Amino acid sequence: MKKSEPSLLRAAGLIAAVTIVSKLLGAVRDWQIVHVYGASMVSDAYLAAAQLPSFAIVLLGGLGGPFHTATVAIFTSLIPKDSIRAPETAQKLASVFMTLTAIAGLVLSLGVTFFSLPLMQILLPGADVTLISSAAAQLQIMSPVILIGSLVGIFYGLLNVYQSFLWPSLSPAILNITMILTLCLSPHDPTGQILAWATLGGAFGQFLCQLPEFFRRGFSLKPSFAWRDTPEMKQLGEILFPAIVGTTIGQLITYVDMFFTSMLPVGGWTAVTLSNRLLQLPIGVLQTALLVPIFPRFTRCVADQDWDELRRLFKLGVISLWFISIPMLVIMLMYGENTIRIIFQHGEFTSGATQMVTLALVFQAFQMLPYFARDTLTRVFYAFGDAKTPLTVGLIAIGLKALLDWWLIGPFGVGGITLATTLITTINMLILSLMMRKHFAHLRMHQLIPAFGKLLVAGILMGGCILLLQQVETTLLGLPLNAKLPVWQEIGRLTLNSLLSLGAYLAGCWLLRIPETSYLFERLSFLSFMPNRTKEN
């Protein structure tokens, strides 16, 4: 293995640990929201209004978003390895980039503020008038997040070039903590606008916590309009704008889902959102942990024309993500309803809401497998300086998603929306793998198939183990299959069964001898993340 591999896994371990904390806080935040408001008109209004601000702070400005990706891709070549402060060229480019971004973000924020009501009327055509007006009022409050999000994305990229991952990974937790504290201090706002104010405050906190490390690297917030004197701005634009449009396409698909979900009973959009949040817990942790530190390596491999290393890193990345995600998929399918009932079914969140979220989650859980392959492929395209191909593939998805929503919402209800999402992700992944040949004909995607098959066999073994444990509970302990136990007993039962079945999965992976998972078994231990004790192969 390459010498840089331990540092990659140390970075992944740090990012994973911090991201897990943030995601768990996000789960607590969601629990508080549904505990206070349930799956109701107020929660539907907030979650609908929050789509655009969340798009700015999480998708556009988040780790792996267009601003982060473009910044890493361009500044990696401008900033020498092991440098403490940014060279003048990088400082100048960063100032121009942030100035132009701030101007664009301010214009968009003002536009959303003035046109919030028409926007909600377009996005929620089948919704109640009260819901639309409530969502519009909350969107006005949160509109400055659009400005904040894009700037935060640039901060993340600049700090990641310096291998600084702590604050970029931890800062999303600030938004969650802000919302949790706000709901604790003021839980009885019937309008739900307290949620909007908390979202705005949390986004501003994310901005502030990046500044100390940003200034330490020699960058400044002084405006600069010398874009004509910075030729690198053209390179930034060639990656940034197609990536923004591509990400915007993903958000447009969300609005397509909102359009069709508004025709379902009240609480439908809350169910889709909570399902997505539950899925994003493992997806967000794994994607951020591995793809954020591995993307600069893709870029350097392309710059050095080190094709063997690029191919090896790609295969390691995808199979590592599949290796960790398959047991999570099995647990979601087998214990999804139990988990949702334990976490959310309190206060105003009823058993009917649990059934809706479970239906949405079951169909969406399968999205994890093509999702990771698609996103890893997308970063390889970006490493080649090609953001147009993922954009083209994304454009195809909008019309197809609307068609699938219309077709599947009838027989499956809220589950049809999430099933369509899984199908679209799979189609995008397949198209990208075919189109990769124009850049790199020897990525050898077919070599992933044997490892995937073995992981799938191990996953089936894990599912069989859970069924066996359930049978033991039924026959030996006399416990009905879907018995509703006291919360702590239920948590203990699910934890024990999950750990035992996970042992069966790991044993299956070890017996099937998948090279990448064998490597992870060796490296993913506590000592492997200690710099002075790492063994080299």
Q: How far is CA 348 from CA 43, 48, 183, 250, in A?
A: 11, 19, 15, 31
pLDDT digits (tens, 9 = 90+) for 320-336: 889 888 999 999 999 98
Q: What is the sign of the dihedral through the CA atoms of 174, 175, 179 and 185?
A: positive
Question: Is 465 exposed, middle or buried, given 0-12, 13-18 or 19+ CB atoms closer than 10 A?
Answer: buried
Q: What is residue 460's three-state secondary structure?
A: helix
CB 212 within 8 A of CB 159: no
3-state secondary structure 208-260: HHHHHHHHHCCCCCCCCCCHHHCCHHHHHHHHHHHHHHHHHHHHHHHHHHHHH
CB atoms within 10 A of CB 402: 17
Q: Return the structure tokens found at 429.
A: 């992944």
pLDDT of residue 140: 95
Smallest Cα–Cα separation from 210: which of 178, 175, 166?
Answer: 166
Task: Judge whether 29 and 112 are in contact, CB under 8 Å.
Answer: no
Mean pLDDT of 261-278: 82
The length of the chain, given as a count of residues: 537
What is residue 460's predicted lDDT score, i.e. its pLDDT? Answer: 95
Task: For residue 356, report the phi and psi dihedrals to the nearest 5 degrees.
Answer: -65, -45
- The domain spans of the chain are 41-230
Backbone phi, then psi, for 83, in 5-degree steps?
-75, 145
How far apart, in whole angstroms, are the C-alpha atoms of residue 246 and residue 325?
Answer: 25
Q: What is the pLDDT of residue 203?
A: 92
**Contact between residue 49 and residue 120 where contact means Cβ atoms under 8 Å apart:** yes
Residue 150, CB-side half-sphere exposure with 13 Å CA sphere: 24
The mean pLDDT of 103-112, rounded to a whole number, is 94
**DSSP letter for each residue of 151-188:** HHHHHHHHHHHTT--HHHHHHHHHHHHHHHHHHHH---
pLDDT (tens digit per residue) in 52-86? 888 888 777 777 778 888 888 888 878 887 778 88
Q: Are 81 and 173 in contact (CB under 8 A)?
A: no
As a whole number of angstroms, the distance between CA 382 and CA 436 comes to 11
Give yes or no for residue 349 having a pLDDT over 70.
yes
The reported pLDDT for the residue numbered 482 is 62
* Mean pLDDT calculated for residue range 467-479: 80
Amino acid 535: pLDDT: 36
User: Do the Cβ atoms of 432 and 390 come closer than 8 Å?
Assistant: yes
| Token pair 């949790």: residue | 180
Q: Give the Cα separation of 357 and 324 in Å (integer).
A: 23
What Å distances lie between residue 362 and 1, 365, 413, 417, CA to CA? 38, 6, 13, 11
Summarize pLDDT for 143-188 with one digit per residue, the tens.
999 999 889 989 888 888 887 777 777 777 888 899 899 888 876 7
Q: What integer pLDDT is reported at residue 72 of this predicted model?
A: 83
Q: Which residue has the tokens 């591999």?
A: 5
pLDDT in tens, 372-399: 888 888 888 888 878 788 878 888 888 8
User: pLDDT by residue (tens digit) across 199-241?
Assistant: 999 999 999 988 988 998 889 898 888 877 778 888 888 778 8
**DSSP 8-state secondary structure symbol assigned to residue 437:** G
- Termini Cα distance of the chain: 5
Distance CA 486, CA 342 (A): 9
Going by C-beta distance under 8 Å and a sequence separation of 6 or more, which residues neighbour residue 271?
39, 353, 356, 357, 359, 360, 414
- The predicted structure's pLDDT at residue 43: 82
pLDDT digits (tens, 9 = 90+) for 507-537: 998 888 876 666 555 544 433 433 333 333 3
- Average pLDDT estimate for 403-413: 90
